[in-house]
Amino acid sequence: MTSSPDAADLDTDDPPVLVGVDTGGTFTDLVAWKAGRLLHGKVLSTPDDPSRAIIEGLRRLGLDERDVIVIHGTTVGTNAVLEGKGARVAYVTSAGFRDVLSLARQNRREVYALEQPVQPPPVPEERCLEVATRCDHQGALLARATDEELAALKASLDALDVDALAVNLLYAFLCPEEEQRIAAIAGGERFVSLASEVLPEIREYERGIATWLNASVGPVIARYLARLAEGLPRARISVMQSSGTTVAADQAAAGAVRLLLSGPAGGIAAARLIGAVTGRRRFLTLDMGGTSTDVALLDGEIPLTHSSRIAGWPLTVPTVDIHTIGAGGGSIARVDEGGMLLVGPESAGAEPGPACYGQGGEAVTVTDANLVLGRIPADTLLGGYLPLDAEAAARAMDALATDLGCRRVAAARGVLRLANEHMARALRVISVERGHDPRDYALLCFGGAGGLHACELAELLDLDTVVLPALAGVLSAQGMLASEPGRELSRAVLGRLEAQRREDLESAFVALEARATEELAAEGVATDTLGFRRRLELRYEGQSATLVLDDAPGTDLAEAFHAAHEAGSGHRLERPVELVNLRLSARAPAAIDSLERPRRSPAGSGQGRRVFMTDLQQAVPVLDRDSLPTGEAVPGPAIVTDRAATAWVAPGWRAEPDEWGNLVLRRRGWKR
């Protein structure tokens, strides 16, 4: 891959501009931090080559010829997995374990179904190969493949014509040298993914899947980032990881499995920044884009999980704890064979897009429904440049209404109501189903379509407060700039907690800190700015489920585990506590750590305009968001617009800008 220029190669007389980029299924959003000001833009995504939309967006912002530092959230790896378009991978493991990926876990995806859905194995049997090398559970080498055997393995790989190699030896994390030896002899010019580097933890199936995913998407990511670097020769490029931290582009492909939830993590980073600046810690976040909606629960810090899934496969690397559904502005509405209205998960995407985009799309979408009902004014320019075709939206909605046997407005209302129910259910999954009362949180809505649905969603969840960020339409891109360079590292240490010596744990943590420091220093991060967080993953002996606790000095870890288990499960057991993994979080300061105070338009600018809403059969005011005075409440119904998004203030709600330009919506007369 073409390497990005070093800082010394950049024009020091004209400081580089920071640019956050979020590539979505419909739009590519850009936010630039230039001379203390935020610039932003939105262009249609180019699914065949996402780098083209990024270059076009920079051109529209006048930055394509400038030195820029790009922090990029990408869906390239995600799409490769979802569409089955990853590299051709061979899987190498210890003798007797070639079928582990096919056997998987015996978990039932549909608990009460007599016949379970069959998922093809990730790697065909003929590309699952074995070597004699094997370690035991203490890291002792029981058997070792000879150089001749590894040469034969290389010949087999050459005959299979594979693009990438995934190596997952039994207990590889305890003897990584053997995996490295296989890579050196049999790897050749292929992309090589080693389990001891990708996920040095127990559970050979999950470790094997992570290693295979890394090998599958690594070459795809590498090619994409090479094209992007070629198109932006003066740029330094970093990529958002699924954990909400950033990694330099030249290191990203080697850990490609950690990029699979890259884009959605940006919005959570921005939400954390908004909370830190405004003093609000608790948010239910909803990021509604063109293709999907991501929801999360935020309580002061970015929530991480080690049990995500993608395309049905377990994803056990650290990821932001996000729940995603196929409901977005581009979600297609249709009638099934039984006459039932359905919305999503299929999306019109960027090409041809919703009918109202005027690009030949005929299927009606959620965006078309908002336009038909008047919540989006017909003269709106999406992204500040794309005109809408209201007549095309009306024709598409009429076709749906005919299938439903109702009028156009009723059909549009049905589309929005069903989309709202899908999103409200997702919000309940990450709150109510996990023991959280959603009424204790404010609803933070963003994405190009989030503000259009905020009031109804809050009513469905019985919430009284909604926050629409100042740059709601491009917030995930802004979040890229608020993301911290960092690493999430782990090391397996399996054994009873009482048998662990403190000095051994200290030594292991120091080694992890040294590795994180070395990797981040290679990206140009000042090592004296790094902060570390040490945690231990514990369980009762004989259990498989674990809890992660901070390694606070002086803490009785066993008692802390008993208390945490009792708080979460309602009981404690008289069993020994077992240490499973050590976990280390390393963080450096983000590119920006504050919000820009808004530059208001002249008083009254954009006021006085009204549009007729077919939904309410009345005219409502259309207000320019930048002209709203701080602290002055706007009663609903009203439409509030800016260049990147439109917000709908429903009847019974009032909206008030805060000093940071965020729009705070509250229900009038609401009492719990």
Count of C-beta atoms within a 10 Å radius of residue 32 = 26
Q: Are 295 and 279 in contact (CB under 8 A)?
A: no
Residue 4's pLDDT is 32
Q: What is the mean pLDDT of residues 425-438?
A: 92
Task: Give CA 408 to chain center in angstroms.
Answer: 36
Dist CA 569 CA 564 (whole Å) = 8
For residue 26, pLDDT over 80 is answered with no
Q: Are 628 and 595 in contact (CB under 8 A)?
A: no
Dist CA 369 CA 375 (whole Å) = 9
Averaged pLDDT of the chain:
88
CATH (one of 3.40.50, 1.10.3470, 1.10.287, 3.90.1150) for 86-213? 3.40.50
Closest CA to 580 of 664, 655, 505, 670: 505
For residue 13, pLDDT over 70 is answered with no
Q: Which has the higher per-residue pLDDT, 87 or 359?
A: 87
Q: What is the mean pLDDT of residues 314-325?
A: 89
Report residue 572 as tokens. Answer: 């404690």
- Give residue limits of the domains in the chain: 7-81+222-259, 86-213, 484-587
Report residue 318 as tokens. Answer: 């650290």
For residue 577, pLDDT over 90 is answered with yes
Dist CA 291 CA 387 (whole Å) = 20
Residue 8's pLDDT is 36
For residue 118, pLDDT over 50 is answered with yes
For residue 66, pLDDT over 70 is answered with yes
Q: What is the mean pLDDT of residues 153-176?
A: 93
Task: Give CA 307 to chain center in angstroms.
Answer: 14
The hierarchical CATH code for the domain 484-587 is 3.30.1490
Closest CA to 438 of 447, 427, 449: 427
Task: Give per-residue burial for 378-391: e unless 16+ CB within 10 Å, then b.
Answer: bebebbeebebbbe
Count of C-beta atoms within a 10 Å radius of residue 360 = 10
Residue 605's pLDDT is 45
Q: What is the mean pLDDT of residues 418-427?
A: 94
For residue 11, pLDDT over 50 is answered with no
Cis peptide, bond prior to residue 354, ω within 30 of zero: no
Residue 598's pLDDT is 63
Q: What is the mean pLDDT of residues 167-191?
A: 93
Dist CA 265 CA 298 (whole Å) = 12
For residue 350, pLDDT over 90 is answered with no
Cis peptide, bond prior to residue 5, ω within 30 of zero: no
- 491-510 residue pLDDT tens: 999 899 999 999 999 999 99
Dist CA 618 CA 613 (whole Å) = 6
pTM of the model: 0.84
Q: Are 170 and 135 in contact (CB under 8 A)?
A: yes
- 205-234 residue pLDDT tens: 999 999 999 999 999 999 999 999 998 888
- 258-313 residue pLDDT tens: 998 887 788 899 999 999 999 988 999 999 887 788 899 999 888 888 888 888 89
Residue 443's pLDDT is 96
The domain 7-81+222-259 having CATH identifier 3.30.420.40: the answer here is yes
Residue 297's pLDDT is 94
Q: What is the mean pLDDT of residues 93-118?
A: 86
Residue 9's pLDDT is 39
Residue given tokens 């932003």 in the structure block: 40
Residue 599's pLDDT is 62
Contacts (Cβ under 8 Å, ≥6 apart) of 240: 71, 72, 73, 74, 246, 259, 262, 263, 265, 266, 480, 483
Which element (helix H / strand E) includes 608?
none
Q: If pLDDT is split at 50, 70 and 90, which confidence band does 600 have? A: low
